[in-house]
C-alpha cells in the first residue's frame, strides 16, 4: 500500500529536527535511518542532505510511537514531551476501544486523538492567558504547533463555501430551520478537512437573509 499525502506530511514534520541537528553538527559523511513507516534514509555530506522514501504505508499511531526514540536522540525536549503525551493518549484510546494495548489506532481514530489534544492545548492557552501566566502559555503554544503539524491542512472559508452551495442544492436546504441538517451533511462531506467553527459560520452566512 502506498503512503498517503498525510502520511508523507507527518513523515516530513518528524524529519525536520533530525536534519537540522545533523546539519548543524557538520559531521563527516554518514547515513542514518529514520524510524518511520516509510523508512527514510538521510545521507549527510557536510552541509547537504539527501532524503529517500520507500513510501511503504504505516499507520500514524505507529509512526508517532516509533518517532519517540528519534526525538530523544536529537534532544528535542518539547517534541519528545509532546509525542509521549500524544502516544499515551492514543494508548488510552486503544484500551477504551477494547483493543489489545499493543494494537494501533487506525488513521481516522488517531486524528481524533490529535484534534482532542490540539483543543486541550488551546483551552489551556486561553486559561493561562486570562491568568497572565505567560510562563505557562509559551510551552503550551510550542506543543500546539507540533500537534497541528500532524493534522491535514484545513479548508479556507471560501473553499467551504463552494462545497456548501453545492450541498445546499443537493440536500434541498430552504431555511434556517434546516441549519442542523445542513451542518451535519456538510461536515460529513468534508470529513475532517474543515474546522467546525468555519463550517458553522458558512452555514449561518448562507441561511441568513
79 with 175, same domain? no
CATH of the domain at 81: 1.10.1510.10
Would you place residue 57 in the very low, low, confident or very high pLDDT band (cuts 50, 70, 90)? low
- Whether 84 and 172 map to the same domain: the answer is no
Q: Rounded to 10 degrees, what is the CA torsion of 131, 137, 143, 147?
A: 60
Q: Are residues 77 and 17 in the same domain?
A: yes
Residue (of 96, 21, 105, 5) closest to 61 by Cα position: 105
Q: How many domains does the chain have?
A: 2
Residue 13: the pLDDT is: 53
* Same domain for 119 and 30: yes
Q: Worst-scoring range by mean pLDDT, 34-38, 82-86, 189-193? A: 34-38
Q: Is the same domain home to 52 and 116?
A: yes
CATH of residue 182: 1.10.10.410
Question: Domain residues for 113?
Answer: 5-148
Same domain, 31 and 52: yes
Q: Given this model, what pLDDT does residue 208 score? A: 82
Lowest mean pLDDT among 9-18, 99-108, 120-129, 189-198: 9-18
The dihedral region occupied by 158, where left means phi > 0, alpha psi between -120 and 50, and beta the remainder, is alpha
Q: What is the three-class DSSP state of 185?
A: helix
The reply to whether 67 and 170 lie within a common domain is no
134 and 195 belong to one structural domain: no
- Look at residues 106, 124, 148 and tell me which one is the last residue of a structural domain: 148
- In which order are the strands placed within the sheet that holds 40-45? 30-34, 40-45, 48-53
Secondary structure letter of residue 117 according to DSSP: H
Give yes or no: residues 88 and 166 share one domain.
no
Do 139 and 162 lie in one domain? The reply is no
| Residues 29 and 132 grouped into a single domain | yes
Q: How confident is the model at residue 172 (pLDDT cuts 50, 70, 90)?
A: confident
pLDDT digits (tens, 9 = 90+) for 99-129: 988 899 998 899 999 999 999 999 999 999 9
| CB burial of residue 46 (10 Å; 0-12, 13-18, 19+) | exposed
**Phi/psi of residue 147, nearest 5 degrees:** -60, -45
139 shares its domain with 195: no
**Are 38 and 53 contacting, i.e. CB atoms less than 8 angstroms apart?**
yes
Tell me the average pLDDT of the chain: 78
The distance from CA 111 to its chain's CA centroid, rounded to whole angstroms, is 7
What is the Cα 174 distance to its own chain's centre? 36
Separation between Cα atoms, residue 141 and residue 144, nearest integer Å: 5
For 176-187, the pLDDT digits (tens) are 888 888 998 888
CA distances from 94 to 21, 103, 110 (A): 33, 7, 10
Amino acid at each position: 500500500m502506498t503512503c498517503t499525502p498525510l502520511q508523507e506530511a507527518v513523515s516530513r514534520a518528524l524529519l525536520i529536527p533530525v536534519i537540522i541537528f545533523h546539519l548543524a553538527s557538520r559531521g563527516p559523511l554518514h547515513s542514518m535511518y529514520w524510524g518511520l513507516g516509510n523508512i527514510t534514509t538521510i545521507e549527510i555530506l557536510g552541509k547537504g542532505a539527501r532524503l529517500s522514501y520507500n513510501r511503504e504505508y504505516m499507520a500514524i499511531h505507529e509512526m508517532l510511537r516509533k518517532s519517540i526514540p528519534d526525538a530523544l536522540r536529537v534532544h528535542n525536549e518539547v517534541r519528545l514531551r509532546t509525542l509521549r503525551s500524544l502516544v499515551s493518549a492514543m494508548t488510552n484510546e486503544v484500551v477504551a476501544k477494547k483493543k489489545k494495548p499493543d494494537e494501533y489506532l487506525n488513521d481516522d481514530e488517531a486524528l481524533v486523538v490529535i484534534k482532542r489534544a490540539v483543543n486541550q492545548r488551546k483551552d489551556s492557552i486561553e486559561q493561562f492567558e486570562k491568568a497572565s501566566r505567560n510562563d505557562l502559555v509559551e510551552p503550551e503554544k510550542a506543543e500546539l504547533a507540533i500537534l497541528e503539524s500532524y493534522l491535514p491542512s484545513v479548508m479556507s472559508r471560501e473553499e467551504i463555501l463552494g462545497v456548501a452551495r453545492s450541498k445546499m442544492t443537493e440536500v434541498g436546504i430552504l431555511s434556517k430551520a434546516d441549519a442542523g441538517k445542513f451542518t451535519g451533511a456538510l461536515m460529513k462531506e468534508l470529513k475532517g478537512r474543515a474546522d467546525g467553527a468555519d463550517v458553522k459560520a458558512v452555514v449561518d452566512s448562507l441561511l441568513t437573509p
